[in-house]
Amino acid sequence: MVKRKALGKGLENLFPDIDLGEGKHIQSVKIEEIVPSPFQPRDLFDETKIEELAKSIKEKGILAPLVVRPKGEHYEIVVGERRWRAAQKAGIYEVPIIIKEFTDQEVIEVGLVENLQRENLSPLEEANAYQKLTEEFGFTQDEIAKKIGKDRSSIANSLRLLKLSNKAKRYLSEGVITAGHARAILSIDDPLKQDELLKRIIKGNLSVRAAEKLAKKLQKEKTHTSKKNLDKTLIAQIEKIENDFKNILGTKVNIHMSGKKGKIEIHFFSIDDLNRIIDIIKSSF
């Protein structure tokens, strides 16, 4: 596995052997000699922002070199695909590059972290990036949080977006709903009620706050339906216990009763989240 370096203070911290200040390793190549990376975490590029960057490049040139690796007769972009795209729109024929050897694994890791640090990924692209860091490189949520300067709960909430239905993911990608709307949808257990909330958010053009309020109402309706055969005192006791568990474990907990028997349902959103919950439970013994 690639040795992990501290991130967050620029490209030179990722690669200390690259001297960006004096530019000893910078050279210019024809733009057609450069190709994009198949490991780019970004699915979509904002054409408006590319156009804005192209105008800036026309006026000031490319201020930061692209980082590339040799790939056959070409150079493959590791960092700087937006600049490369904008340079083409600006009619630039040569671009400054820094050439460095990278393994495929390093290209994926650097591409993910570089985009995450710049905070220019969509919510789903960010969630997919976190998932790749955990599944392909063995990062824990705590490690990701430290490397990109966010708290662990932000990472966990981002990963939860991957639990959305395909329809909700599509609307989120298209900007029809926001990550806040998505989290409101995920606060409901029942997939049918999740779909109902999604439809009502779009039809009513609901704000995030309104969506959260409606989500609570729909969730309560589900809870009352599942507990309709229980007396009100017992329902209140169960809901209090559920909330106590939620506060202790930091995740949703449901208690299902059938006569005198029942089961406790603890929700988790990744293997790392499951291990976190197990650690909390173990520490209580």
| pLDDT number for residue 280 | 84
For residues 176 and 234, the model is more confident at 176
pLDDT of residue 218: 87
Q: Is 26:98 a contact under the CB 8 Å cutoff?
A: yes
Give mean pLDDT, residues 200-221: 90
Residue carrying structure tokens 């993910």: 112
Mean predicted confidence (pLDDT) in 138-144: 85
What's the rounded mean pLDDT across residues 74-84? 90
* Per-residue pLDDT at 44 exceeds 80: no
- At 14 the pLDDT is 46
Count the residues in the chain.
285
In whole angstroms, give the CA distance from residue 247 to residue 67: 46
Residue 81 known to be catalytic: yes
For a pLDDT cut of 90, what percent of the chain falls above it?
25
Measured distance CA(142)–CA(140) in Å, rounded: 5
95 pLDDT exceeds 70? yes
pLDDT of residue 168: 93
CA nearest to 214, candidates 204, 224, 228, 225: 204
- Compute the average pLDDT of residues 142-160: 85
CA distance 160 to 128: 10
119 pLDDT higher than 80: no
The 10s digit of each residue's pLDDT in 170-198 is: 999 888 999 999 999 999 888 888 999 99
What's residue 215's pLDDT? 92
Give the pTM.
Answer: 0.58
User: For residue 24, is pLDDT > 60?
Assistant: no
| Average pLDDT in the chain | 81
CA distance 273 to 220: 25
Residue 164 pLDDT > 80: yes
Q: Which of 32, 81, 119, 196 is catalytic?
A: 81
8: pLDDT strictly greater than 50:
no
- Spell out the domains of the chain, with CATH numbers in brackets: 11-142 (3.90.1530.10), 164-226 (no CATH), 229-285 (no CATH)
**Kindly report the CA angle at 19 between 14 and 24, in degrees rounded to 5?**
145
